[in-house]
Amino acid sequence: MTFVAPLPASTVRQADWYGLDLSAQLVERVTIIDADLTEAHGRGVRFVDCTFRGCELRCLEFSDAAFENCTFARCAVFDAALTDCKFIGSRFDPTAFDQVRVEGGDWSFVGMGGSDLRRARFSGVRMREADLSGVLCAGGSLRDCDLAGASFDRGDFSRCDLRGSDLSSMSPTTVHLERAIVDWTQAVRIAANLGLDVRAE
């Protein structure tokens, strides 16, 4: 099956895009309802100002792709590999990112409040001013991520691997951090945010 990009500002219902190669496609301002994108893959695809509602996003494998200012509502995200992808300004309903691996890319200003990231792995991702409020990330991984200005309030980061990430906007009194894994620099930052006077001697 060959993928044919829908017209801008159109609505697509129950599309069967299973296993399609979406490389270099451009999809703009399209509402996609109950579509099956299981095993969809490709490099350089761009979705701009699109809405995904009730879609199956399982076993995706995208690199250098962009989902800009998109909305994801009631979508199932499972076993996805996203490398150097952009999700700038996109919004997710509280979503379970189950066995999702994200390496590199830009997720700045993304809204993920209340999502389940316990079985997700983010590495080297730019997530400036991301909304991570209320996320479940216990046992998850946010390694070497740029989280400057992110919102963490009410998030559960217990046992989460946070090493190398920017936690400067995290208030340790408003999140769960029990047994979280941090490096020395982060430990000092967290202590300072608790009002401690940290000294070398």
Structure tokens belonging to residue 86: 């952009």
Same domain for 58 and 152?
no
- Give percent of the chain with pLDDT exceeding 90: 91
The helix (run of H) or strand (run of E) holding residue 123 is: strand 120-123
pLDDT (0 to 100) of residue 40: 98
pTM over 0.85: yes
3-state secondary structure (DSSP) of residue 91 = strand
Same domain, 56 and 127: no
Asked if residue 149 and residue 58 are part of one domain, the reply reads no
Q: How confident is the model at residue 189 (pLDDT cuts 50, 70, 90)?
A: confident
Compute the distance between CA of residue 93 and CA of residue 175 in angstroms, rounded to an integer: 21
Check whether residue 152 and residue 168 sit in a common domain.
yes
- Over residues 124-132, mean pLDDT: 98
pLDDT value at residue 26: 97
Is the separation of the CB atoms in 157 and 179 below 8 Å? no
Neighbours of 42 (CB within 10 A): 18
Q: What is the mean pLDDT of residues 161-177?
A: 95
In this predicted structure, the answer to whether residue 191 has a pLDDT above a threshold of 80 is: yes
In a domain, 2, yes or no: no
CATH number, domain of 143, equals 2.160.20.80
User: Is residue 97 scored above 90 in pLDDT?
Assistant: yes
Buried b (16+ CB within 10 A) or exposed e, 102-138: bbbbbbbbbbbbbbbbbbbbbbebbbbebbbbbbbbb
Task: Tell me, yes or no, whether 91 and 188 share the same domain.
Answer: yes
CA distances from 79 to 39, 144, 159, 199 (A): 9, 21, 21, 44
Q: What is the CA radius of gyration of the chain?
A: 18
The H-or-E segment that residue 2 falls in is none
Q: Find the domain containing 14 and state its range.
A: 8-80
Final residue of a structural domain among 65, 80, 95: 80
Residue with tokens 């995200």: 77
* Residue finishing a domain among 80, 101, 132: 80
> Mind listing the pLDDT tens digit for each residue in 17-49?
999 999 999 999 999 999 999 999 999 999 999
pLDDT at 198: 80
17 assigned to some structural domain: yes
Has residue 201 been placed in a domain? no
Asked whether residue 53 falls in the same domain as residue 97, the answer is no
Instruction: Specify if 48 maps to a domain.
Output: yes
For the chain, how many structural domains are there in total? Answer: 2
Same structural domain for residues 141 and 116?
A: yes
Looking at the fold, whether 58 and 123 belong to one and the same domain comes out as: no
Question: Residue 201 above 90 pLDDT?
Answer: no
Structure tokens at 134: 């209320």
Which percentage of the chain shows pLDDT scores above 70? 100
Arithmetic mean of pLDDT, 56-82 = 97
Same domain (yes/no): 48, 96: no
Q: Give pLDDT, residue 2.
A: 82
